[in-house]
Structure 1
Amino acid sequence: MKRNYEALFGAFYERYFDFKSQGISNAEALVCTSEAYFGVQKRGEMEKAVVVIAEGRIYLTHSKIFINSKERIVNLLKGLDLEKLQLETTSDEYQDILERRDMVLDGIESIPVDHSPFARWYYNEMEKEVKNYFIEIFVNTNDASEIIEKIEERFERECRSTWSENIVVKTTLAELLIRHSNKPENEFLSLKIELERFDMNEIGQLLTESEKFDLSIRIKEVLSKI
């Protein structure tokens, strides 16, 4: 049993990082991984415990957790059939699972809750991802048109996915262009129009109130400099 027990943890984490390597958000990568292992959870109590614990431990590294995901993980971990689990594992594995379970249950309470069901890049994550990609591009070119084209191509999926991802991408891009490159009016025209037309009410629960406030300040500063 030991090989299967350790291998299942490893396989779950490996699948998660495989999804992450495709350039998707932490939240979406974990949702995809959890869905891929949905059937595994039904094989036995050990499999269920390992998969849910692995998912929970990854959530401990995230900036937020969807409220329904939190409730599901907590309920599943608290509802484990310990008698079945003990029969399916060695004594060391059983104790290890309980320790990992308790660590997830303790840690998950401190993660900020997300009330939106959309698996997406969160505010600070999206900003960081755009900045990192901008740096990669800027090493080879400081042409504003080329940079805008590459950024929009890289984050096309995100910009079509949610209003929050779209506006954070565009705001961060404008900030970076102002800071690092020349600012010919024609390159900034489409960004300026989009930022001017943006309605914060369209965000809904995709951003917290503090994130909305911060974003509104950033947009105003950008527009004042374009």
Structure 2
Amino acid sequence: MYCVKCGVKLKKSLKRCPLCNTPVIMPINREEEFDTVYSKVVEELKHINYNYVGNLINLVLIVLALIVLICDIIITRKITWSIYVLASLYYFSCFIQYFLRRNIYLTHFVNLLGMEVLFFVIAYLNNGMSWYLFLVSPFILILWLYIFLFTLLIKRKKGNILRKFSVSLLFSSYALMAIESCIDLYKYNKVELGWSIYASLPITIISAIIFIISYNKKLFDEIKQRLFI
């Protein structure tokens, strides 16, 4: 580095020329105080401990269940209405797993189990095991099976979004026919499909149209642009 006025060679750390006292322009390795744009404070992002939150909520529900059970025993001298409350609290505990667990498939299974237990308790206490076993339980199973397949389809990274929607619509038509089959078996001991066929036909046609559109790249891009999908 040299002085811009007299041309004397300067040390890198000098601020002025020792010969002519000319200020050194853009000195190298010069330590100056600058106000930085970025903050010097490093903030640490805090993440919610969902396992702890889930355990805390379950603990509160257990305490609440014990209080309800004790009140029932004190008032009626036996366990009666508290069973409904206990079953409802159990299902609520299963339901909140949607917001606390990352494994969506395990969450679906836990919710299915919770709903089955809730309706089982209601049916058992009201002598309704027949309608539960042959109507409610299969209906719940079909519903959650559809939700599971829909989730599995949507969460796939590969595949066209319209194609996924088309297949999910087709699944819904099968679910409707399965539900009517359960109702017919419960009422008539045989399957006579009626309303589900009429409901499934337009759903199947719409599903086929969407499936065909999904292969038309130009039309799909137009829909994608307008719907922001």
Find the structure with the greater CA-based Rg.
Answer: 2
Same fold by TM-score, threshold 0.5 exceeded? no
Bigger relative CO (Cα 8 Å, ≥ 6 apart): 1
Structure number with the higher helix fraction is 1
TM-score (norm 2): 0.29
TM-score (norm 1): 0.29
